Amino acid sequence: MTNTVDTKAHTGRTSRTDNWWLSPLLVGVGFALFIAYATVRAFENNYFEIGQFLSPFYSPKLIFDWWHFSPAILILWIPAGFRATCYYYRKAYYRAYFQTPTACSVVGTSGKGYSGETKFPLILQNAHRYFFYCAAIVLFILWYDAIVAFISPQGQFAPSVLGLVMVLNCILLSGYTFGCHAGRHLCGGALNCFSQTEQQKVRFRIWHFVTKLNEHHMGWAWASLFSVGLTDLYVTMVARGLATPIFFL
């Protein structure tokens, strides 16, 4: 029996011996890369449309005489706000950037000054459902874009790999958007009783389906983040002449 003098039971940041730092590191780097790419593309205001293909960063394309900057700025606040207030992303960036906490049982920040989401600005996280409503509208427009991508400017059926990529992007965005925690609450989670009226029974079935999506919300969040970035990358490469949509017909 040997003794190690340590007058307190808990000293230092943590006693964990596993790679607790890896997850917040990967999340932090992943978000930073996406944000940097999206910011550059949003302000570039070029190479976002070619033929029937429109980048998701610029959809819906809002062109006004009075607006002299990139039209992406007029629309990107919606998906950005939706993701920034998303319950999954909050967990991810609170850990990776805010260090509250860095990881479970690992001290990030400490002290009584912590107020969580009770005060400005973080109290605005409570507006998540409003971003959900707006994001759902944008998603329907992206579905419209994906369908239009299968029709050439001359009105002919023109299936392509890029069109399929846009559809896949919409599927992943739909899984993410409609598996949202706020949506889960609004469609049925707010009820205490699911069985008394026809309306409750319908809402229960919707809630049950949304719950299945919601169980994999993190997966949908990451998959759709990658897909929206890669879809834009493909569109811009085609617009720059560096790639082709690869038409099947």
Positions touching another protein (CB under 8 A) are: 1-10, 14-18, 87, 90-91, 94-95, 98, 100-101, 104-118, 122-123, 126-130, 181-182, 184-186, 189-195, 197, 199-200, 204, 214-215, 217
Distance CA 154, CA 162 (A): 18
Distance CA 20, CA 43 (A): 36
> Which amino acid is residue 8, in one-letter code?
K
- Asked if residues 53 and 238 have their Cβ atoms less than 8 Å apart, the reply is yes
Distance CA 176, CA 172 (A): 6
Given the complex with another protein, which of 82 and 234 has the nearer CB atom?
Answer: 82
**Structure token pair of residue 152:** 């050439």
Given the complex with another protein, which of 61 and 181 has the nearer CB atom?
Answer: 181
Q: How far is the CB of 202 from another protein (least distance, A)?
A: 12
Q: How far is the CB of 79 from another protein (least distance, A)?
A: 20
Q: What is each CA distance from 203 to 186, 191, 200, in whole angstroms?
A: 9, 9, 5
Given the complex with another protein, which of 69 and 215 has the nearer CB atom?
Answer: 215
Q: How far is the CB of 204 from another protein (least distance, A)?
A: 6
Q: How far is the CB of 147 from another protein (least distance, A)?
A: 31
For helices 198-214 and 217-239, what crossing angle results, to 10°? 70
Given the complex with another protein, which of 103 and 146 has the nearer CB atom?
Answer: 103
Given the complex with another protein, which of 61 and 90 has the nearer CB atom?
Answer: 90
Q: How far is the CB of 81 from another protein (least distance, A)?
A: 15
Q: How far is the CB of 220 from another protein (least distance, A)?
A: 13
> Which amino acid is residue 119, in one-letter code?
K
Given the complex with another protein, which of 17 and 154 has the nearer CB atom?
Answer: 17
Given the complex with another protein, which of 208 and 240 has the nearer CB atom?
Answer: 208
Q: How far is the CB of 141 from another protein (least distance, A)?
A: 22
Residue 3 burial by CB count (10 A; 0-12/13-18/19+): exposed, middle or buried? exposed
Residue 106's beta-bridge partner residues?
103
Residue with token string 């394309």: 61
Q: What is each CA distance from 206 to 31, 96, 136, 145, 178, in whole angstroms?
A: 31, 33, 16, 26, 10
